[in-house]
């Protein structure tokens, strides 16, 4: 059975990949530390991605056929206030993974973001000019460039507004909205930030599909429907039978966030649709799938 190495395997996306690939691959995952709770059902190693020697040693030991690189510092405001940490994780960490892949001959698929764009004219295609406006976007774009320089056959998979649920994973936009609306608390969501919401389970399938095809270059791997945060919140409420009247439309300027956000972002997914022979989920299909998951978990 071939080996698949997953960085950030205890995160939302990484855990979805572990579950999806477990029957077809010998899965090895790593992160800074194992999460608390029941034992993991795969070969987990505590490795800090910022430690080049440790990343290289593990990769040379397990000799993976495929590497899917999901580990990243994705908290956009924290990246803005802690740029050195963001660079160490997102840039240096990605360079370490790419170098290890190059040494072992593993095919690398690395996850990136629509925040490499400035959000002036989205949704974006793969060959549109990049222009980051935040530390997070800058570090992820630099990671793309270093990965491509070290591993010219690597695949860069950009995504947008990742959401989903799973044991031990941290909250995300959809789970936060659900929690607030279920508690009857009013919330403000911006109507001037557009992205392409992406169910983590669906993204895991796209990434594994690209890895198995040996895809190279840049692919946009997000949900298929761009939508602003306010309208997305209303669709969440509708899907889960909650009160959309609790949602107020606001603006980005009202939030006073440390990091600027791309306003008119989102990704065009025609290329990955053609390559894999299926379209990523749209907003309603993704939310319906999440609803089924959450209901099943409550039984």
pLDDT in tens, the chain (299 residues): 899 999 999 999 999 999 999 989 999 999 988 877 777 889 999 999 999 999 999 999 999 999 999 999 999 999 999 999 999 999 999 999 999 999 999 999 999 999 999 999 999 999 999 999 999 999 999 999 999 999 999 999 999 999 999 888 889 999 999 999 999 999 999 999 999 999 999 999 999 999 999 999 999 999 999 999 999 999 999 999 999 999 999 999 999 999 999 999 999 999 999 999 999 999 999 999 999 999 998 87
Length of the chain: 299
Task: Specify the pLDDT at position 113.
Answer: 98
Token pair listed for 153: 């056959």
Catalytic residue among 42, 115, 136, 163: 136
Task: Specify the pLDDT at position 286.
Answer: 98
Residue 161 φ/ψ, nearest 5 degrees: 45, 65
**Residue 279: CB partners within 8 Å, gap ≥ 6?**
224, 269, 273
Residue 75 φ/ψ, nearest 5 degrees: -70, 105
What H or E segment, with its residue span, contains residue 4? strand 3-7
Catalytic, 124? Answer no
Q: How far apart are CA 36 and CA 92, in angstroms?
A: 27
Task: Specify the pLDDT at position 39.
Answer: 78
Residue by residue, DSSP assigns 122-176 as -SB-TTSPP---SHHHHHHHHHHHHHHHH-TT-EEEEE-SEE---TTPPP-HHHH
Task: Specify the pLDDT at position 52.
Answer: 97
3-state SS, residue 45: strand
Task: Specify the pLDDT at position 23.
Answer: 86
Task: Specify the pLDDT at position 170.
Answer: 85
Token pair listed for 151: 């591993």
What pTM was computed for the model? 0.97
């Amino acid at each position: 059975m071939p080996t698949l190495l997953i960085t950030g395997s205890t995160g939302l996306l990484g855990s979805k990949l572990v579950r999806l690939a477990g029957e077809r691959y010998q899965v090895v995952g790593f992160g800074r530390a194992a999460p608390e709770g029941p034992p993991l059902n795969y070969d987990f190693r505590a490795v800090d991605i910022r430690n080049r020697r440790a990343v290289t040693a593990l990769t040379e030991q397990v000799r993976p056929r495929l590497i899917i690189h999901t580990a990243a510092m994705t908290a956009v405001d924290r990246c803005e206030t802690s740029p050195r940490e963001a660079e160490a994780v997102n840039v240096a960490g990605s360079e370490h993974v790419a170098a290890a892949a190059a040494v072992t001959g593993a095919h690398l698929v690395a996850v990136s973001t629509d925040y490499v764009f400035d959000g002036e004219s989205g949704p974006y295609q793969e060959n549109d000019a990049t222009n980051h406006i935040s530390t997070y976007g800058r570090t992820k774009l630099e990671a793309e460039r270093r990965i491509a320089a070290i591993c010219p056959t690597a695949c860069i998979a950009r995504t947008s507004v990742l959401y989903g649920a799973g044991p031990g994973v941290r909250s995300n936009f959809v789970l936060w909205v659900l929690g607030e609306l279920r508690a009857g608390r009013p919330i403000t969501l911006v109507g001037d930030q557009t992205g392409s919401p992406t169910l983590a389970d669906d993204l895991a399938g796209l990434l594994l599909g690209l890895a198995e095809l040996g895809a190279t270059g840049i692919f946009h791997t997000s949900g298929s429907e761009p939508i602003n945060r306010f309208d997305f919140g209303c669709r969440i409420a509708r899907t889960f039978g909650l009160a959309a009247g609790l949602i107020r439309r606001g603006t980005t300027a009202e939030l006073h966030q440390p990091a600027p956000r791309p306003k008119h972002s989102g990704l065009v997914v025609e290329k990955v649709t053609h390559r894999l022979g299926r379209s990523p989920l749209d907003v309603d299909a993704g939310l319906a799938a999440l609803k089924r998951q959450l209901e099943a978990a409550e039984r």
